[in-house]
Amino acid sequence: MKQKVRSKRKETSMAQREHWTSRFGFVLAAAGSAVGLGNIWKYPHMAGSNGGAAFTVVYLICIAIVGLPIVIGEFVIGRRTQLSPVGAFDTLAPASKWKYVGFLGVASAFVILSFYSVVGGWTLRYTFMALSGNFAELAGNSALSSETFEKFVSSSWNPVFWHLIFMGLCIAIILNGVKSGIERWSKIMMPLILAILVVLVVRGITLPGGMEGVKFLFLPKFSDLTASSIVLALGHAFFTLSLGMGTMITYGSYLERGQNLLSSSLWVVAVDTMIAMLAGVAIFTLVFAMGADPAEGPGLIFVVLPTVFPQMPGGVVWGTMFFFLLFMAALTSAISILEVVTAYFIDQRGWTRARATFIFGSVIGVVGLFCSLSLGGFTDFKTLFNLSFFDFLDYASSKYMLPIGGMLTAIFIMKKWGIPAFLTELHEGIEGKFRIPVRAALVLLSIAAFVVFMIILNEIWAVITGHPLVF
């Protein structure tokens, strides 16, 4: 009986499911999910304080060894089942506990979007600040810039207002579905992101002293590279490629058969990596040319850059372009996170898209509101590990939920679905000479799962004993 219901659901899902209009649209949407705050905000400051090019080399190795196999794995699971994560695992392993990996993905999406959209709101507010010339008074004054930023994020309603607008935009895009929502907006925003970034890079490297920033980012300083920066690079590879919560399974489920998923995955990973590098160059050339502090850490974007832009000729334009770029990158990622939650309610619960998007977009909006208020606007209450609610959600998702989800996905392919079945699906649309042997797939997925297992173990060890296994 259950089997009958399941196959009926599968038939209707295949027949009615929306699909990407083209391979280009799919690659842009998936790259849009990958390219986000992780590339433009996190990567540059991580590289800046962990050995520049030395960190970049490790990061690239992690992307290739851990990231790429899991990106491919998620796309293949999605395309095979034509379902979002819970249904996908349930179809490939009926009546087993594997569907809980899908539920973990939906939960991670919920958690991540709650704080991600708060930062998305900050990018929007800083775009308007730049546009209206408000950075002028911060020129060269990082103490004032830091105070302005702190005051903004810890105030009550101002950041909540911007967060709600940001969530509203996500809901508006997702309401329009795969083709006219996600694909259409990714096709508009991704080329714009790239174009703005290229303009900013050219501006940066042509500023006197700008090339110092390029050297800072790309000349390896192996002395600054510690074991913990390697762990950091691994964790970041996961976050930046949107892995471990079924985003790529969901996007893969809107694919029709026959597309070469190996080359599409390579494209997505390449675009993500290239944008991270370009963002690093754009930011550090400015920072060096203007004599600001490159090792500022997470405050680099919201504290240092607003002091730098007004010192440049045409600073209003450059500043607005930069924050608008950051906002668009955050938005193309945020919609992919909301889509994971929405698709679950459409696929598994039979809800309409409008109902799922409105209800869960609003619920996430409310949770995000508490996230924002936890930074000081409402109360200073602390959660576990003395973290604010905001930091706790960030910590729980990026240190545990995503890596665990990614590791279980790799294990699922090897142990439950089986490499031969996985490769049969992957090889659809791939020429014979590019086909992957079973043994190679097994080795790659095992390495990916093992490496992620070590990251999680390291983190748990650090929590229990107070110091990590590797540091």
Q: Point out which residues bind ligand PFF (CB under 6 A).
A: 33-34, 36-39, 112, 239-240, 242, 245, 247, 333, 336-337
Question: CA neighbours within 13 Å on the CB side: how many for 129?
Answer: 27
Give 91 or 242: the residue with its C-beta nearer to ligand PFF: 242
Least distance from ligand PFF to the Cβ atom of residue 435, Å: 29
Q: How near is the Cβ of 282 to ligand PFF at its closest, in Å?
A: 16
Closest CA to 425 of 29, 31, 17, 75: 75
Nearer to ligand PFF, 60 or 207 (CB): 60
Closest CB to ligand PFF among residues 38, 204? 38
| Shortest Å distance, C-beta 340 to ligand PFF | 7
Given the complex with ligand PFF, which of 230 and 337 has the nearer CB atom?
337
Nearest to 160 by CA among 380, 370, 337: 370
Nearest residue (CB) to ligand PFF, 112 versus 160: 112
Q: Which residues contact 33 (CB under 8 A, 6 or more apart)?
A: 242, 247, 248, 251, 332, 333, 335, 336, 337
- Closest separation in Å from C-beta 261 to ligand PFF: 18
Write down the least CB distance from residue 245 to ligand PFF, Å. Answer: 5
Shortest reach from residue 343's CB to ligand PFF, in Å = 12
- Residues with Cβ within 8 Å of 79's Cβ and at least 6 positions away in sequence, in order, are 252, 253, 255, 257, 259, 261, 425
Of 112 and 286, which has the nearer Cβ to ligand PFF?
A: 112
110 or 135: CB nearest ligand PFF: 110
CB 74 → ligand PFF: shortest distance, Å? 10
| Cα distance between residue 133 and residue 116, in whole Å | 26
